[in-house]
Amino acid sequence: MKEYGINISGHTSNNVDEYRDIDFDFVITVCDNARERCPYFPSKAEKFHQNFPDPAKAQGTEAEIMGEFRRVRDLIKTYCKQFVEENINK
């Protein structure tokens, strides 16, 4: 993300209970593990799921691993653009 000028170094994984009182329109899970561990989200939000490979599981040289992180980043970017076009910009 740094290559795109986006600093995510302070981002964390949070417990779903931290979002209990937020009225979301959409909830999107992005890996099968999240979908399985959090099958219920206490919200009226419309739920979507799109599985992406976990680049942290990539093996190979440093360049190959970095390539996998970039590939998954780009898959997520494409999915987000498509999601907005289909669900927000109607």
Whether residues 58 and 85 share a domain: the answer is yes
Question: Which pLDDT belongs to residue 80?
Answer: 95
44 domain-assigned: yes
Does residue 63 share a domain with residue 33?
A: no
Q: Are residues 58 and 45 in the same domain?
A: no
Q: What band does 65 get if pLDDT is binned at 50, 70 and 90?
A: very high
Residue 58 and residue 37 share a domain: no
Domain limits at 85? 54-90
54 CB contacts (<8 Å, ≥6 apart)? 31, 33, 72
Q: How far apart are CA 26 and CA 75, in angstroms?
A: 19
pTM for the complete prediction? 0.80
Q: Kindly state whether residues 85 and 58 are assigned to the same domain.
A: yes
Q: Domain for residue 13, yes or no? A: no
Number of domains in the chain: 2
Q: What average pLDDT does this structure show over 38-46?
A: 75
For range 27-32, the mean pLDDT: 84
Question: If you ran DSSP here, which 8-state letter would residue 26 be given?
Answer: E
Query: Is residue 1 situated within a structural domain?
Result: no
pLDDT band at 38 (very low <50, low <70, confident <90, very high): low
The CA distances from residue 59 to 33, 63, 73, in Å, are 19, 10, 17
> Do residues 63 and 75 both lie within one domain?
yes
